[in-house]
Amino acid sequence: VLPDWNVRQLAGHLVFVHTGLRQSLDQSTREPALPIQEYVTRYRRDVEMIMAATLAASADLTRSEVVARLESAIDDLASRLEAGVQMSHVISTRRGPTTIEDYFATRIVELIVHTDDLNRSVPEAPPAELHRSGLSRCTRTLAGILAGQHPGRSVEVRVPPYAAVQCAIGDPGPSHSRGTPPNVVETDPLTFLRLATGRIGWADALAEGRVHASGLRADLSAVLPLLS
């Protein structure tokens, strides 16, 4: 379902994600960590490099070889984490300095979003499981990025049962501190992550009844996608 990608390249991208995470864990830095809402904007800046690395991770390999490489990358990362070695709070990554916690959060988003991509790409196969803990963390991370990029209290975005945040869209507008907010957007976790990553457009989600919006400012079209 991703333009110009196939399933083998998607698996190659996950090799790139895991090996990058493993390497970054050992790259401590004294630079101040970027706020996660700023850090993720660098994906757009580096989109060509990310695509090139994705293609390289699966180039000239059979499907079984790509899977074997992914399994090896996962095992290597797991061994590093299970060793319990003390790690720096702030690490240097391809996108810049970030906290380990925020970096793991973005890696979880990658895995959940691409698992959903895979399931939609091969609907004839049994779907890969979206673990509740991973989907929850993914939803809360994306909701936090939305609130961080558009601080304010004029719109409440609800993604039950995992997240609810307040943000400001367009002009400041009215804000609320208690009671029913003047503008509310509510959707399910899968629709939210697809909106946040450009897998579905706001107008389509609204027309299909996947999003419920009430209030004059309950329109996220101007701020989506958060990641692309």
Using one digit for the tens of pLDDT, what is the confidence trace for 50-80? 888 888 888 888 889 999 999 999 999 899 8
State the DSSP string of 16-67: HHHHHHHHHTT-B--SPPPPHHHHTTHHHHTHHHHHHHHHHHHTT--HHHHH
Angle between helices 63-82 and 7-24 (to 10 degrees): 20
What burial class does residue 58 get, using C-beta atoms within 10 Å of its C-beta: 0-12 exposed, 13-18 middle, 19+ buried? buried
Residues 110, 137 contacting (CB under 8 angstroms): no
Residue 113's nearest CA partner among 191, 58, 171, 46 is 191
Q: Is the pLDDT of residue 176 over 60?
A: no
- The predicted-structure confidence for 186-225, as pLDDT tens digits, reads as follows 999 999 999 999 999 999 999 999 999 999 889 999 999 9
Q: What is the model's pLDDT at position 227?
A: 85
